[in-house]
Chains A and B, each alone.
Chain A
Amino acid sequence: MENDEIVQNMLLELRRGVLSIAVLSQLSREQYGYSLLKALSDQGMEIDQSTLYPLLRRLEAQGLLQSDWRIMDEARPRRYYVISTQGKAVLTKLKREWSTMVETMKQMLS
């Protein structure tokens, strides 16, 4: 396997690991799937639809998100997601763990 491919695979795994935190962090206000996708992408976190939607469903099944179908400005129904109370508590803990991890990695890599 070429080095580039190895790096790409490892980056993919790294990103997969942080996606849940990234998604939870962006849902303090409600968003529909595509707007969330764009919000993540605008901040440099590119993610496939085929990864995002199953992840949203998983997080909802765990009780970390809530969703409902609604018709907002346009006359088209969209599913809106927002972080739940449990999700907020989990995100707070995850943020703390993430900061510790970043610090640890900084020290290890410096």
Chain B
Amino acid sequence: MNLIDRYIAEVGRHLPHKQRADIEAEIRSTLEDMLEERKQAEGTVSEAQVIELLKEYGAPRKVAESYVGPNYLIGPRVYPIFELVTRIVLIVLFGLALAGLGLSLAKSSLSEPEFLKTIGESALGLFGGMITAFGNIVLVFAILERVLPAKEFEEEEEWDPAELAREPDPDRVKFGEQIFETFFLVVFLVIFNLYPGVIGFGFFNENDWVFISPILTEAFFSYLPWINILILLQLGFNIILLRRGWWNTGLRVANIVLELAGIALAAAMLRGPDLASLTPAQLAGTPLEDSAGIFISLANWIPTLVLTIVIIVSSIEAAQMVYKIIKSRSSPTYPVLK
């Protein structure tokens, strides 16, 4: 492999796969033209002259960059929302860790080394949790950066200052809300399918953090394929909505269907067998052993509470969608910049 081949291969390493062959061929053609010109002027071309020619052409990475342009993992258009979500998630995590630490330190029986050990373990747990949460947020926003069309975050090409005084357009998609919801849907999908063990029942026993898991029952996992289908449909819907940027009747109807499907599934899960359970054996040897009955009831009650909230929230959202469809048909429309 001669120097020119090695140079072109190095430039190619920094180029996108799609354009690589074409750009490499063009660079090779130019380098050969330049070499030929020098050969005609000086009779022969030494390796030193080839090196000089390649230096003149530019460092491989720089040459590749001139073709590719800036490349972002998370670009400026979604960065403000990324920053907001990151801040909220990290603050919530920090608050939860602080509350947990406070509870465990409140025990008067802690000796000094145990006291320090508890703080150290909490700090380590918090650090790990924050890194994981940050990684997941980055992953979701990196995907959004690539699926969202550029125009949605750019200013309108033409605009009428009179529009500024108008009330917000009810058809315009609220990007912050949709991205926030999409992020949490992905988190649920990942947790339910890959890390169901993180859903459990935790408390401090003396100086140790006791975490009882799994608490999700087989009944819950029998519903998981349906939960997955609904989450994936909702994710697909959110991406379409984000790409489009505007609600219309069709999208509102689709959203109502999704909400109703969610309500139906939640209702079926409520009527079915227990979704989470604690057994007396799991609580044996802990201070909760004596009041095992209360905690076992609590384990059954929490999924009921969550599903009831899901049904109420989904019903409100479906009703809002129906109201907006009726309103958009009955109220006179005014021109908006779409």
Q: Give A residues with C-beta under 8 Å from B.
A: 32-35, 37, 48-51, 53-54, 57, 69, 76-79
19 of the cross-chain contacts (CB-CB < 8 Å) are A32-B29, A33-B29, A33-B33, A34-B29, A34-B30, A34-B34, A35-B33, A48-B58, A49-B63, A50-B62, A50-B66, A51-B66, A53-B23, A53-B26, A53-B27, A54-B67, A76-B29, A76-B32, A77-B25
Which residues on the A side are within 8 Å of B34 (C-beta)? 34
Provide the bound-state CA to CA distance between A24 and B66, in Å. 20
**B223 an interface residue at 8 Å Cβ cutoff?**
no
Total A-B pairs, Cβ < 8 A: 42
**B180 an interface residue at 8 Å Cβ cutoff?**
no
Contacts A50-B66, A54-B66 given; does A77 touch B57 at CB 8 Å? no
Q: Is the interface of B mostly helix, strand, loop or mixed?
A: helix
Which residues on the A side are within 8 Å of B32 (C-beta)? 76
Q: Give B residues with C-beta under 8 Å from A.
A: 23, 25-27, 29-30, 32-34, 57-58, 62-63, 66-67
| From B26, B58, B63, contact of A79 by CB (8 A) | B26
Provide the bound-state CA to CA distance between A69 and B29, in Å. 10
A79 → chain B closest CB, angstroms: 6
Which residues on the B side are within 8 Å of A57 (C-beta)? 67
Contacts A34-B33, A49-B30 given; does A69 touch B25 at CB 8 Å? yes
Provide the bound-state CA to CA distance between A78 and B29, in Å. 6
Q: Is the interface of A mostly helix, strand, loop or mixed?
A: helix
Provide the bound-state CA to CA distance between A79 and B24, in Å. 12
Provide the bound-state CA to CA distance between A13 and B67, in Å. 19
Provide the bound-state CA to CA distance between A34 and B66, in Å. 17
Nearest residue (CB) in B for A51 is: B66
Nearest residue (CB) in B for A67 is: B26
Provide the bound-state CA to CA distance between A77 and B26, in Å. 9
Which residues on the B side are within 8 Å of A78 (C-beta)? 29, 33
Nearest residue (CB) in B for A76 is: B32
Provide the bound-state CA to CA distance between A77 and B33, in Å. 11
Which residues on the B side are within 8 Å of A53 (C-beta)? 23, 26-27, 30, 66-67
